[in-house]
Structure 1
């Protein structure tokens, strides 16, 4: 269990595509764990029109948290990365999606101890 002062990232992935997203790969660095005592993990599937919520945090107050998740669909792969370092560096995140799909990303990418990220995937016009 991590220290309550540990760095963390709360993530939401909004699926506004016609695709069901199926988890293909998930990774946390060695200093990270899933929030809520290890139960706040990326779900196996994100149906069309649904939002997935999950998060990670450092194992103690002297480390950060970093990870990624990849979902797949008939359209291709969707990837979300996050990093909330312990040292005086900005939080960062990224999102990738297949051709024909667009994305929007809301992340202040500042120096927050408890960072938030919202990625929305939607059909291209």
Structure 2
């Protein structure tokens, strides 16, 4: 679990903001320009660019500039870090619930027929 800690903290911190989650969600459908990403949001362009920078700094998105147009692309490898961590959590919880199920459905231990003294 320690192998994920720094990466996960950085990624989850970036995804903690609803604006950045909206950007990641939109980029899940394909590349988009800064203008396309900012259009449906009610924030200023300079504020929006701070969100883009945060996503870029943690590696969730990459940007490339062609002339005056900057295009953003989702880096799915970084999402793989989250997926790997979630899979570890899933296995741990499944093992715990399997043990609980076995305990709950197990036959009760035999009771003694002799009265206590």
TM over 0.5: no
Of Structure 1 and Structure 2, which has the larger fraction of its residues in strand?
Answer: 1
Higher relative contact order (CA 8 A, sep 6+): 1
**TM-score bracket relative to the smaller structure:** under 0.3
Structure label with greater radius of gyration: 2
Of Structure 1 and Structure 2, which has the larger fraction of its residues in helix?
Answer: 2
